[in-house]
Amino acid sequence: MNILAYIIYFVLTYLITVQAGFIFYRNGKVYILRLLNGDEKLTDFINKMLLTGYYLLNLGHVAFSVHSWNTIESRMELVTIVTTLTGRIMLILAIIHFVNMTVIFLFSKYKKSIFSS
């Protein structure tokens, strides 16, 4: 049962992480572009670095969290543990996402106050 649980868990978290990361990548570009006054090359670079770091962090965390699982004996335990851990990953993603947005917002505010005063 453990192997089956690992497979389901990996597929689920992989799908969620990659999907969310791609959405952030596509929609975050506008912000960084505006922050850097339309410097396309640097924006692409920073965006790609952010995406790579995000993937490394999350997939690494997913892979790492597997080592502490107990033996799974029934399908109920399987559903419970897979769902709970997926929920945890999603919460972590959400927190990282909102922190990221706050940081970009603060950056743009700071920048505006430099240039307008």
Angle of helix 2-35 relative to helix 40-65, nearest 10 degrees, comes to 160
Judged by beta carbon, residue 114 or residue 116, the one nearer another protein is 116
Judged by beta carbon, residue 1 or residue 91, the one nearer another protein is 91
Q: Which residues contact another protein by CB under 8 A?
A: 20, 23-24, 27-31, 34, 74-76, 79-80, 83-84, 86-94, 97-98, 101
Residue whose C-alpha is closest to residue 54's, from 28, 21, 85, 90: 21
Judged by beta carbon, residue 7 or residue 91, the one nearer another protein is 91
Is residue 78 a contact partner of residue 72, using CB atoms and an 8 Å limit?
yes
CB of 13 to another protein, least distance (A): 11
CB of 79 to another protein, least distance (A): 5
Residue type at 67 in one-letter notation: H
Q: How many CB atoms neighbour CB 19 within 10 A?
A: 10
CB of 4 to another protein, least distance (A): 15
